[in-house]
Amino acid sequence: MLQQTQVKTVIPYFKAFILKYPTLKSLSLSSETRVLKLWEGLGYYRRARNLLITSKILINEHNSKLPKSLINIKKLPGIGDYTGNALLAFIHDHPTIAIDGNVKRVFSRVLNKNENEIDFNKLIEINKKNLFKTKRNSDFVEALMEFGALICKPKEPKCYSCSIKNTCKYFKSDKKFKQTKILKVKTKKYNIFCYIDKMKNKIALTKKHNLGFLDKFYIPLIRESHSNKKIKNWIFHSNFKNFISNKKLNINLYYKFSLKIPSQYQWFSLKKNNEFIPSFTKKIFKQISKIN
Ligand code: SF4
């Protein structure tokens, strides 16, 4: 849940999730619809799906235990090097480091080198003995992440109260390296077209679309937009910006009152549905509901 999501956002979801699924077994017996319903509003829904699939794999193939090698952990859906190493450290106390943005920044500052000049895996391998000498690998990985987030922060690091300032080349050097600027997320433009049944307060949605990041979710008709031209037979409603996963979307919302909808579409209430509706689509519901 914490991947790409702030702790304060996650807390109520985590509590509700743990209450519903207190054990791996209880999660593994659930359905995707029920898990997604609990995840509703948290975004990045692939995490929920992967978690459910993983619980089933662990129960059925690994005797309810997490594998102990990176190769086997990475066979679980959605787990790459970063999560795999974090799990090995947190669950099995293995001497591994989850290399995230915070960790990279700390190492690059200590060495006073640009991140793209460092081979982090090699660096960790060479310094393994020193890095893991406390034998508290799980705490060390957690501490490194927190240190990057709270002390060696992206802007204005707290160097004067930093406990490793005496070995930090960034702190000691008069010639501090300059971090290469991170490329800005590109905004993509989309047009969204809502068929509305005004009498019944319904909207037409489909799961058949080619938006990979909302794969298998109900959304209205959506098309990538390349111009700001008026669109025949559709009424312009509003423009809004939205972040989904790591994508920035600039959306023009259109609608029309129509009882005829394309064959792959279904009617949904603008108020209450039993089906799981992603928060992206719910935002559109809110906008559309304002139409008189
Ligand atoms: S001295 Fe400053 S730059 Fe160096 S590790 Fe500490 S907080 Fe980061």
How many whole angstroms from 142 Cα to the centroid of ligand 1?
17
What is residue 30's DSSP assignment?
Answer: S
Binding site membership of 261 for ligand 1 (Cβ less than 6 Å):
no
How many angstroms separate the CA atoms of 192 and 212, rounded?
16
How many whole angstroms from 184 Cα to the centroid of ligand 1?
25
Atom number in ligand 1 closest to CA 105:
8
Separation of CA 43 from chain center? 7
pLDDT at 183 (0 to 100): 67
Q: Are strands 235-244 and 221-224 parallel, antiparallel or unpaired?
A: unpaired
Binding site membership of 151 for ligand 1 (Cβ less than 6 Å):
yes
What is the pTM for the complete model shown?
0.71
Which single residue is written with the structure tokens 């209430």?
A: 269
Is 82 in contact with 98 (CB distance < 8 Å)? yes
How many whole angstroms from 224 Cα to the centroid of ligand 1?
44
**Please, how many CA atoms are within 13 Å of residue 87, restricted to the half-sphere of its CB?**
18
Q: In 176-270, at which residue ranges do the beta strands (DSSP E only) sit? A: 187-197, 202-205, 221-224, 235-244, 247-257, 266-269
Mean pLDDT by 10 residues, the chain (292 residues): 86 96 97 90 87 97 96 94 93 92 93 94 92 91 91 94 95 87 78 92 89 80 82 88 80 91 92 83 88 72
How many angstroms separate the CA atoms of 7 and 9, rounded?
5
How many angstroms separate the CA atoms of 183 and 70, rounded?
30
Which single residue is written with the structure tokens 């995230």?
A: 100
Mutate which of 144, 152, 160 for ligand 1? The one with the most ligand atoms within 8 Å of its CB, which is 152
pLDDT at 182 (0 to 100): 66
Q: Whose CA is nearest to atom 2 of ligand 1?
A: 159
Binding site membership of 152 for ligand 1 (Cβ less than 6 Å):
yes
pLDDT at 90 (0 to 100): 94
